[in-house]
């Protein structure tokens, strides 16, 4: 995914689970080294609506700790399954994280082809759109990440046609200052 993003000149924000960060800290360093943003996606990708507040708080804190050990101080939190509960919002706030969801979803696991993924994303492109694609199959059905990766070329073409470019969340949400 990183190589393909570089080939296309695209920037992204990656939301990593703490278990993957613990297993592959060098990959997190590579993401940030290539100019991408890294946020947290919880520690285990557990469904917050199925657990109590204490478990949720620990899940978020452990993910922040994992990223910290990998050299990243995260600003962003995307809850697993896009399910934001009161305890998950509180845990994010206590960890100094802003919650992020998405406005355009590739839904790679339900799409027959990368072209379907790309068409779905391109249809939702607009200034400030936040696109959700998966870069691994660790929390999605096998083949989902490959479809997302293959859809990047047509998505890049769609961005160009719409006169849009990509930005990390840090860039998108940074305060605008007059010079």
Stretch(es) of the chain classified as CATH 3.20.20.370: 12-101
Count of H-run helices and E-run strands, the chain? 8, 6
Helix segments in 18-143, DSSP class H: 18-23, 25-33, 53-69, 86-94, 114-123
Hey, what are 106's tokens?
């590739």
48 near 56, Cβ under 8 Å? Answer: yes
- The secondary structure of residue 76, as a DSSP letter, is E
- Topology of the domain covering 12-101: TIM Barrel (3.20.20)
Q: What is the pTM of this model?
A: 0.92
Strands 76-77 and 98-99, bridge-based pairing = parallel
Best CA proximity match to 76, nearest among 155, 172, 177, 175: 172
Q: What is the pLDDT along the chain (179 residues), one digit of tens a residue?
A: 999 999 999 999 999 999 999 999 999 999 999 999 999 999 999 888 888 999 999 999 999 999 999 999 999 999 999 999 999 999 999 999 999 999 999 998 887 899 999 999 999 999 999 999 998 888 888 888 999 999 999 999 999 999 999 999 999 988 655 55
C-alpha distances in Å from residue 101, one per residue of 24, 35, 81, 104, 130: 24, 21, 10, 10, 8
Question: What per-residue confidence (pLDDT) applies to 39?
Answer: 97
């Amino acid at each position: 995914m990183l190589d393909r993003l570089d080939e296309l000149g695209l920037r992204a924000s990656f939301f990593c689970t703490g278990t993957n960060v613990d297993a592959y800290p060098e990959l997190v360093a590579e993401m940030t080294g290539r100019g991408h943003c890294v946020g947290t996606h919880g520690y285990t990708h557990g469904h917050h609506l199925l657990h109590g507040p204490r478990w949720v708080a620990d899940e978020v804190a452990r993910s922040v700790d994992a990223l910290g050990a990998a050299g990243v101080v995260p600003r962003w939190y995307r809850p697993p399954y896009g399910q934001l509960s009161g305890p998950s919002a509180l845990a994010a706030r206590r960890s100094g994280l802003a919650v992020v969801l998405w406005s355009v979803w590739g839904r790679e696991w339900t799409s027959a082809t990368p072209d379907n993924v790309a068409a779905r994303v391109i249809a939702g492109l607009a200034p400030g759109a936040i696109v959700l694609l998966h870069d691994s199959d660790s929390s999605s059905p096998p083949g989902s990440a490959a479809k997302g990766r293959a859809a990047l070329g047509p998505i890049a073409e769609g961005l160009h046609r719409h006169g849009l470019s990509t930005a990390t969340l840090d860039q998108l949400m940074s305060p605008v200052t007059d010079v």
